[in-house]
Amino acid sequence: MKMKIENRSILSGVVDSIPSKSYSHRYLIGSALAHGASMEDESFDDDFLGNGLSKETFSEDVLATYECLSKLLNIIHHKRTVAEIPTFQCNNSGSTLRILSPILMVFFEKVRFVCGRQLIGRNMPASMEPLKTFGVDCYSDGDFLRNSIVLNGNLKSGEIHLDDAPTSQVLSGLLMALPLLKKNSCITISEDFPSMPYVDMTLNTLKDFGVNIEKTHPENDEKSIKFNICGNQKYKTVQNISNRIENDWSNSAFWIVANFIYDYSETTDINLTKSSYCEKLLNYPIKVCNLNSDSLQGDREILNILWDFKRSSNSVTSIDCSNIPDVFPVLALASGVLKDSVAEFTNLERLSLKESNRIESTVSLLNSLDIKNRLSEHKLKVYGSALLKNGIMSKLDAIVDNACEINTYGDHRIAMTAGIASIFSNRPLILSNYVCVKKSYPGFWKDFKKLGGKCDKIQLR
C-alpha cells in the first residue's frame, strides 16, 4: 500500500501543534520514577494522562516508553516474579532504548530490550558505549532474538569525560538515573557536544521533579561543561504533567516551511522586520497554534534559519545541523526554492544513525524533486533554482498518472517533508511506507487533509 499526494494543493487554515515527543519521554520517565518511589502504579496513568493526552494519541515512540515504564512499575510495586532477564519492548524507538537503559539498570542487574528491525540496524550498542564507565555492558544477543539487545550490570556512580558521542540521549538517561544512586557522580562534556538543547530540556524536566544537577564549567576550562550529580535524590510527584509538556517545534516545522514557500513565491517585501516575518511564518496561510517562543527546543532555530533564507540573494547560507537533526530534511527542501542562492548544511555525520541514513534519504528526495545538490565530507550544498515555476519531477511512472515515486526509507521526517514538497511539485507524488509518520506525528496526514492537501491510499498493480 502506498499513498498518492496530488500536486499544487493550497494549504491554509489552523493546525494545533502536537506535544513534544522529547518532553513527553522525559516527563513520562520523571512521573514513573516519582510514582515508583512513593505511590501505587495505577495513579501513574491518572497523573500523566488527560488534558488532551491519551495512549491512543501517543506517537509510536512515546507509546514504547510508556509501556516500558508501566512494566517497570508493575514489577516494582507488585514484586512480580519475572523471567531471569526482564524483557522490555522498545520497538523502533531509539529514544526509549537509550534514555531508559541507564534508568532500568538502577533496578535490575540484567535487562533485555527487544527492538524493531529498523532500530537494530542503527548500531545501538556502539552509541551506548559511555554506560561501561558506570558498570553497564551492552551487546546484541543473537542467541535469543535477532533483534535483541542485552544490558548487563547494575548502574554504578562514577565520573566520565565525554568529548564526543553519537547521540545525547544516553547522557540524558544518565542524568535522570544517577541521582537515584547513593554516591555522587560527575559528567564532563565538551562545549560543542551534539544536540545540547536536548540535554538542557532534560535538566529543565528534572528541576520540575525536584532533582537538581549543577551545570558549571570545570576549573580553568571554559570550553567544557561539567554536571555535578548528587546521589540520594528522590523524584517528587508533579501535578498536571500534561500541561507542562510543551508542544513540538520539530513537527510544526513542516507547516512553518510550507508558509515560507508560499511567502517566498508570492512576496518581495524587503522592508519586513525579522520579528514580523517570524510572526508571519507561524500564522499565514497556516496558523500554527500553541508553540512556546521561549522554548529550549533546538528546532525553534528554524525561524532564524528561514529568516536568513529570506534575505539571501546570490549568497551562501551556512546551517550547522549538529543541534537540529530533525529539521534537516525539510530545511534542505526549503533551500531548494531559493533564487540564485546556495545553502550549505554542515555537521551531518550523526544523521546517518537516524531512522534512515538521513543524509542519503534527504539527497534521494532532493534528486527525485530535481533539486540540485552536492554531498561531500559530511556537508550538503543545495542550489536554489526557479523551482516554483518549473519544478519538473523525475523517475516518472506512467502507471500512476505520470507521478513521481518517493522512497521514504521508513523515515517519518522524509515522509512529512515529501508531503510539503507536493505543494510546489508539477506532478503527483507516490510515497512508499507513508504510515511511518506514526513514529512522531500520527495525525500528520489527517492534518494535511484538513488544511487542504489531497492524498489517498493507492494499490498499485
Q: Rounded distance, CA 3 to CA 406, Å?
A: 10
Q: Name the residue type at position 112.
A: R
Which is nearest to 329 in space by CA: 310, 356, 308? 356
Count CB neighbours of 304 within 10 A.
Answer: 12
- Residues of the chain with pLDDT below 70 are 37-54, 79-83, 121-123, 142-146, 266-270, 386-401, 460-461
- pLDDT for position 136: 97
- pLDDT for position 45: 61
- pLDDT for position 125: 73
Which is nearest to 111 in space by CA: 78, 133, 144, 64? 144
DSSP three-state, residue 432: strand
Angle (nearest 5°) at CA 445 between 443 and 451:
100
Q: Rounded distance, CA 334 to CA 329, Å?
A: 9
Question: pTM for this structure?
Answer: 0.92
Strand partners, 287: 14
Cβ-based neighbours of 4, under 8 Å, separated by 6 or more: 400, 403, 428, 429, 430, 431, 455, 456, 457, 458
Question: How many residues would you count in the chain?
Answer: 461
Residue whose entry in the numeric block shows the C-alpha cell 520514577 = 33
Which is nearest to 417 in space by CA: 349, 345, 368? 368
Cell of 70: 508501566
- Domains of the chain plus CATH, in order, are 2-18+247-458 (3.65.10.10), 21-229 (3.65.10.10)
Asked if residues 305 and 253 have their Cβ atoms less than 8 Å apart, the reply is no
Q: Rounded distance, CA 266 to CA 268, Å?
A: 7
| Percent of the chain residues topping a pLDDT of 90 | 67
Phi, psi of 85, rounded to the nearest 5 degrees: -120, 110
- pLDDT for position 85: 86
Asked if residues 7 and 427 have their Cβ atoms less than 8 Å apart, the reply is yes
Which is nearest to 112 in space by CA: 128, 132, 90? 90
Q: 138-163: per-residue pLDDT in tens?
A: 988 765 556 889 999 999 999 999 87
Q: 101-120: per-residue pLDDT in tens?
A: 999 999 999 999 999 888 87
